[in-house]
Amino acid sequence: MNKPAIDEILAPKPLARPRIYAYSIADAAHEGLLKVGQTTRDVKQRIAEQLKTAAIKNYCIELDESAERDDGTVFSDHEVRAALAKKGFTNSELEWMRCSVPDVKTVLTELRTGQKFSGTHHQTFPMRQEQAEAVQVTLAYFLSRWVEDTHAVPRFLWNAKMRFGKTFTTYQLARKLGAKRVLVVTFKPAVEDAWQTDLDSHADFNGWQYLSKSSGGDPTQIDRSKPVVYFGSFQDLLGRDLAGNIKPNNEWLHQVNWDLVVFDEYHFGAWRETAKELFEGEDEAVSKKEAKLEYATGLDEVNEDLNVLSQKETEFLPITTRAYLYLSGTPFKALATGEFIEEQIFNWTYTDEQRAKAEFATKQPGKWNPYGALPQMRLLTYQMPDELVAVASAGEFDEFDLNEFFAATGTGKGAQFKHKNDVQKWLDIIRGQYAPKAVESLKTGTKPPFPYSDVRLLPYLQHSFWFLPNVAACHAMANLLDEKHNTFWREYRVISAAGAAAGIGLEALPPVRKAIGSGFETKTITLSCGKLTTGVTVPQWSSILMLRNLKSPETYFQAAFRVQSPWSIKNPNGDNPNEEEILKPVCFVFDFAPTRALRQLSEYGIGLSPNEPNPENAVKDLVSFLPVLAYDGANMTQIDAGGILDIAMAGTSATLLARKWESAMLVNVDNDTLRRIMDNPEAMAAVERIEGWRALGDNIIETIINKSEKVKDLKKKAKTGDLNDKEKRELTDEEKEYKSKRKLVQEKLIKFATRIPAFMYLTDFRENTLQDVITKLEPDLFLAVTGLSVKDFHLLVRLKVFNTEQMNQAVFAFRRYEDASLRYTGIESHPGLSHYGLYDTVVAKE
C-alpha cells in the first residue's frame, strides 16, 4: 500500500457544507409553489445546472440556509418536505411544495433546534451587540435594586432612536427576567403591529401568548404556564364606564401581578409640545384628529403626575409590577431634569448607530453589515439672497422667516402664495437657474451645489419630502409647480398630503405609495405640513426640504428622520437570499434658514449628551456622522462643531441668552425636592432668606405637599366614581390652589437664579468657574446681591433645588456668544484663552 504524500496528508479541509435551498418560478404553472432541495455545492450554481436543460430563466432563489443542527448532525431535504407535509402543506410533485418561505423557515428552525413551533416562529437571528448590552445593563440594575430592597420597583429608560429594535429587545429582557406577565402600555396606539409581529415571528418567543383589545383573545382562557404579553393603550388601561368604574373587560388587568410594565413611545412631557408643533399647520379640526391618532388621550393628568408630583406609576395606574421599562426616541426632558440617573439609562442614538456601521465595515470588510442599509444624514444649509431675506425676515438678526416667506391663502386650486414672485425665484434658485446667481457663478468659476441642479444631489431628490408651514402653503406650492412656465417640475408627480381631503393619519399614505411605485422609474415630491412625519416608512424618500420654522429640535429631527429609512434590495439578483444591495447610502436635509437650522442641530446634540460638560464635544460627536455644508451666498463650506456653535450663538442675542436663567428647567419644585428642603432645617432657613419668600405665607412648602397629597387621594377616589358634589368642588379648588402656590415658589427660585449671571463679569479670568468666583473671590458680594450665604446656596444645590447641568449650559452659551459676537467685529476678547469656566466645571475652548 502506497503511503499518502505529504500534500495529501496536509490537504485543506473541503469547504462543502450541506445547504437547504428553495426557489420559485414566475409562471402560472408554479404559482404558490416552492422547489425545496439540498446540495453541498454552491446553491446558485446547483440551481442553474438544474434549470439549464429546461431553459428556465424566470426563477428566484428564495432561501439558502444551512442543513446543520445545533448538535452538529445534519438533516435532509426529504425531512424538510416531510415536516411541511405533516403541517398540512401539499407536496404537489417531486420536490415541489405548496407553501411560503416563512413556512419553510419555520420547519428548518424546528429541525435545527428540535422544537415544535406554533405559528411561523422562523426567525432565529440573535441580538445585536447594542441590544444585548441594553438587556445586560437593565437586568443588572434591576437585580442590584432588588438586592438592596426586595420590595423595590426599579425604573429604567432606553433612549433609543427608531430602528434600534426596541420590541424585540424588550422581549429578550423579559426572557432574561423570567417574566411570565408583561404589560406594554403605549401612548401611541399605532405601534401595536411591531409588538405582535416580533412575538409571533421569532423562535425565542415560541409559546408566548399575545393579547390586545384589537387582536382579541380571552384573557381568562390563556395557558397560565406560558408567558403572556398584553398590549394596551392608556384608553384601555384607564378606561372607565359612565359611573367611573373600571370596565368589566379590564378588571383582570388590574388583578394580575405583572413582572414587567413597559411604557412605549412616552417622551416625558415632550409629546404634547411636539404633537402640537407637528400638526399646527393643519386646519384646527384636522389637527385635533391627527394629534388624537398620534397620541393616546388622557395624557395631561399622567404627565403631571409623573413630572410634577413625582408620584410612582402605581399611584395613577392601578396595577402592580416588579419593574418598569421606559422606551423613547427623544427623552430630552427626562435627560435634562435628571429624572433618571446615569445608571438608569441606556443610550442608542443616531451617532451610536452610524459609529457601529463604520466600525463594522472596518473590522469585518466583505461581510454583511447589519447597519449597512441605515443611511448617513447630511445637512445642507443655504443663505438666501438679500432680496429674498428682505421679503421675509424676523428677529433681531433678520433671519429668513420661512413661515412668512411661504405664507399663503386659500385652499385647493384657489390657494396662492402671498409672495408668489419671490417663491418662484426660490424655485429657480434651488434648480440653479436664478439669473443673478448664475452671473455670480460665471464670475467666480464655481457653481454651488443647489438641490435640484447638482448632479451629485439629483439622484437623492428623485423622491423628496417638502415640509411647509400650513395647508394653504402646500396647496399653493402644488399650484405653482403646476403652472405652464415651470416645465422643469413636470417630471415630478406632486402629492399634496395636507388638509382634510388628504385623509387622517395613515389614510394619507396610499396616494404617496401609489405615486412612487417601485421608486425606480418615477419622480415625486410630497408636500406636507405635518402628515406622514411620524410612524410611517417610505424607503424611497431620500431628502427633506425644511420650509417652515420649527421651535424644538425633537420636532425638527422627528421630521428629518423620515428620510433616514433604509432602502435596499434583498437578494437583488435572485440567486443569493443573503445578499443586500443598498440603494440609499446617504440622505439629505436641505434648510434655507441657516442660523435656525444650526441652532436646532446644536440643541439636538447637546440634548442627547446632557452629561457632557463641554457642549462643543457633544456637537462634535454628532457632526462627525452628520456632516454640515453651508452656502453663505458665495461658497459652500463644511462647518465643524465650533463653527456651528458660533453661528448658532451669534444668531441670537444677549437678551435671549439671559432668558436661559429664567427657565423653569433651572429649578426643581416637585414634591420630592420640596420634601428634601422641608426635612432639612438649614435648607428651610435658607429659602426663607430668599427675597420675597416670606410674602408667600407661612409653611408654604408644607401647604403645597399636603394639598397635592389631598388632591391625589381625591383623584383616586374619583376613579372609583365615589366623589360627591362637595368633594368634586373641593378637588377643583384644592388643585387650583396647590398649583398656584407651586408656581409662586418656582417664580421666587427663578428670580433668585437670575442674579447669578452677574458674577460672570466680576472677574476677567474666564477660566474660573462661576462657583469659584462666588465662593473664593466674592462671597460677601454674593450675600449682598442674593440674600443667601455661599454655604446656603451650596446646600440648596446639593439638595437639587437648582440644576447645575442647566447652569453649565447657560454659562457656556453666554461665553460662546460673547466671543463670537466680538470676533465678528474684529475683537479678540481674551487672546490665548484655552478654557471656559462654566458654573461648576471647566471645559476646553476648542
Over residues 172-219, the pLDDT tens digits come to 999 999 999 999 887 666 667 678 888 888 888 888 988 887 777 667
Residue 819 has pLDDT above 80, yes or no: no
842-844 vs 835-837, strand pairing mode: antiparallel
Is residue 661 within 8 Å of 754, Cβ to Cβ? yes
Is residue 121 within 8 Å of 334, Cβ to Cβ? no
What integer pLDDT is reported at residue 60 of this predicted model? 92
What integer pLDDT is reported at residue 427 of this predicted model? 95
Residue 699's pLDDT band (boundaries 50, 70, 90)? confident
Q: How far is CA 784 from CA 437, 770, 792, 798, in A?
A: 59, 17, 13, 22
What single-letter DSSP state applies at residue 777? I
Element (H, E) at 254: helix 251-255
Tell me which residue of 140, 170, 71, 69 sits closest to 111, measured CA to CA.
69
Residue 499's pLDDT band (boundaries 50, 70, 90)? confident
Residue 554 vs residue 306, higher pLDDT: 554
Quote the pTM value: 0.69
- Residue 412 phi, psi dihedral angles, 5° rounding: 55, -140
What integer pLDDT is reported at residue 701 of this predicted model? 80
Is residue 422 within 8 Å of 401, Cβ to Cβ? no
3-state secondary structure of 608: helix
Residue 398's pLDDT band (boundaries 50, 70, 90)? low
Cell digits of residue 381: 444649509
Is residue 372 within 8 Å of 582, Cβ to Cβ? yes
What integer pLDDT is reported at residue 425 of this predicted model? 93
What integer pLDDT is reported at residue 56 of this predicted model? 84
What integer pLDDT is reported at residue 760 of this predicted model? 61
Cell digits of residue 343: 445608571
Cell digits of residue 178: 423570567
Tell me which residue of 201, 195, 237 sits closest to 327, measured CA to CA.
195
Residue 11 has pLDDT above 50, yes or no: no
Residue 269's pLDDT band (boundaries 50, 70, 90)? very low
- Mean pLDDT across 76-81: 89
What integer pLDDT is reported at residue 13 of this predicted model? 45
d(CA 774, CA 780): 9
Helix, strand, coil fractions of the chain, as percent rounded to 5: 50, 15, 35
What integer pLDDT is reported at residue 667 of this predicted model? 77
d(CA 816, CA 838): 11
What integer pLDDT is reported at residue 511 of this predicted model? 92
Residue 304's pLDDT band (boundaries 50, 70, 90)? low
What is the CA angle 648-649-650, rounded to 5?
100
Residue 610 has pLDDT above 80, yes or no: no
Residue 473's pLDDT band (boundaries 50, 70, 90)? very high
Residue 529 vs residue 446, higher pLDDT: 529
The percent of residues above 90 in pLDDT, for the chain, comes to: 23
Residue 535 vs residue 832, higher pLDDT: 535
If you average pLDDT over every residue of the chain, what do you get? 78
d(CA 43, CA 29): 23
What integer pLDDT is reported at residue 507 of this predicted model? 80
Residue 149 vs residue 202, higher pLDDT: 149
Which range has the top average pLDDT, 121-125, 201-205, 283-287, 323-327?
323-327
- Mean pLDDT across 76-92: 88
What integer pLDDT is reported at residue 563 of this predicted model? 93
Is residue 677 within 8 Å of 801, Cβ to Cβ? yes
What integer pLDDT is reported at residue 10 of this predicted model? 47
Residue 587 has pLDDT above 90, yes or no: yes
Among 91-100, 429-438, 490-499, the range scoring the smallest mean pLDDT is 429-438
What integer pLDDT is reported at residue 419 of this predicted model? 93
Angle between helices 270-279 and 553-560 (to 10 degrees): 60
In this structure, how many other beta carbons lie within 10 angstroms of the beta carbon of residue 286? 22
| Residue indicated by cell numbers 384608553 | 235
Long-range pairs, 505-509, Cβ under 8 A, ≥24? 505/190, 505/289, 505/290, 505/293, 505/294, 505/531, 506/190, 506/535, 506/536, 508/532, 509/536, 509/538
Give residues with Cβ within 8 angstroms of 333, minimum separation 6: 267, 268, 269, 270, 307, 339
Residue 451 has pLDDT above 80, yes or no: yes
Among 45-54, 504-513, 570-579, the range scoring the smallest mean pLDDT is 570-579
What integer pLDDT is reported at residue 743 of this predicted model? 82
Residue 84 has pLDDT above 90, yes or no: yes
Residue 271's pLDDT band (boundaries 50, 70, 90)? very low
Q: In the chain, what's the furthest Cα-to-Cα distance? A: 111
